[in-house]
Amino acid sequence: MKIILNKNIQTIPDSSSIEDLLCHLNIEVKYIAIEVNEMIVPKSEYNIFNLKDNDVVEIINAVGGG
Amino acid sequence: MPKLIINNKSYNSRLIVGTGKYKDLSETKEAILNSGAEMVTVAIRRMNIGQDKNLPSLLDYLDPKIFTILPNTAGCYNAKDAIRTCHLAAEILEGEKLVKLEVLGDDKTLYPNVTETLKAAEQLVKDDFKIMVYTTDDHIVAKELENIGCISIMPLASPIGSGLGIQNEYNLLTIKENSNVPVIVDAGVGTASDASKVMELGCDGVLMNTAIACAKDPLLMAKAMKKAVESGYDAYHAGRIPKKYHASASSPKEGNVCD
């Protein structure tokens, strides 16, 4: 299935959880936030939150700024 | 120097610094250590997907257990985006709800959009955020933000990144005079004397980024800013002499051998 990840189309296996996605992307669950369709998903739900086709996913972190 | 209290935490340093515009993360950290700052601002942005997992991130360099991380809503031009960004920041920082609210009006001046800032502040207070708010040097607006529940008022000295220093010192004085929460001047500082001047006005602190990060030698400028903030604070509390039109000799008249 396809999701929109940080503005880009990404193909991932059907019914992947957020945890699966992060594992696939090799992203550590540390100081990040994830939104699915503009709703924040708490870290405690990454393993049970299954993504759907066309979900808009944002993976957000802190960067240098003023 | 008495400690600065923000959100029930006390700070030895009255200098808050940004983490943007540095050459790399190592320079960022070294400059911050030189500045003595204990609170640093960060931006909330999409992750660069595909980057090496082993590459350190900003918060690997600036451990949130050591530094107070102040997420900034920079880049937001309306209340809705700023509120969304604050909630993302809290999720990133394990529930910490101290934020710098900055809602901008336009790209050219990066001047605060006061209407949207007020709207965002009202909602964020309801959502239990502790707001340090970037605003204009208008004391009426500053008071409204304080009344809404913002815990620190952060008026600009001049536009972000301009280095123009304080443009309306009497406006800053009026804000400080009317404020019951810390007043931290944010934006516009160009060099050390600007930071001293802010403190000599009696303000509680200074926030800067560009003045350090874009100096020819950021590490040295960070040291200069640390001293400037401290000496400005001391000078204000020491009480400057009144300005006089005529001279006043420092040596006694009595005993002059040439008389």
Looking from the CA of A1 toward its CB, the CA atoms found within 13 Å total: 16
Interface of A with B (CB under 8 A): 5-8, 25-28, 30-35, 38, 40, 42-43, 58-66
A62–B69 CB contact, under 8 Å: yes
Question: What is the C-alpha separation between B130 and B152, in angstroms, rounded?
Answer: 9
Which of A26, A40, A63 lies closest to B45 in CB terms?
A63
The count of CB pairs under 8 A between chains A and B is: 99
ipTM: 0.94
In a domain, A27, yes or no: yes
In a domain, A66, yes or no: no
B53–A66 CB contact, under 8 Å: no
A62–B210 CB contact, under 8 Å: no
Q: Kind and range of the H or E element at B170?
A: helix B169-178
- Per-residue pLDDT tens digits for B45-91: 999 887 766 677 899 899 999 999 999 999 999 999 999 999 999 99
Q: In which band, very low, low, confident or very high, does the pLDDT at B194 lie, cut at 50, 70 and 90? A: very high
- Per-residue pLDDT tens digits for B205-231: 999 999 999 999 999 999 999 999 999
In a domain, A7, yes or no: yes
Residue of chain B whose Cα is closest to the Cα of A35 = B88
Residue-range definition of the domain harbouring residue A27 = 2-61
- Per-residue pLDDT tens digits for B91-139: 999 999 999 999 999 999 999 999 999 999 999 999 999 999 999 999 9
CATH of the domain at A6: 3.10.20.30
Query: What's the total number of domains in chain A?
Result: 1
In a domain, A40, yes or no: yes
Catalytic residue chosen out of the listed positions B9, B65, B97, B100: B100
B20–A64 CB contact, under 8 Å: yes
CB atoms inside a 10 Å sphere around CB A54: 11
The reply to whether B100 belongs to the active site is yes
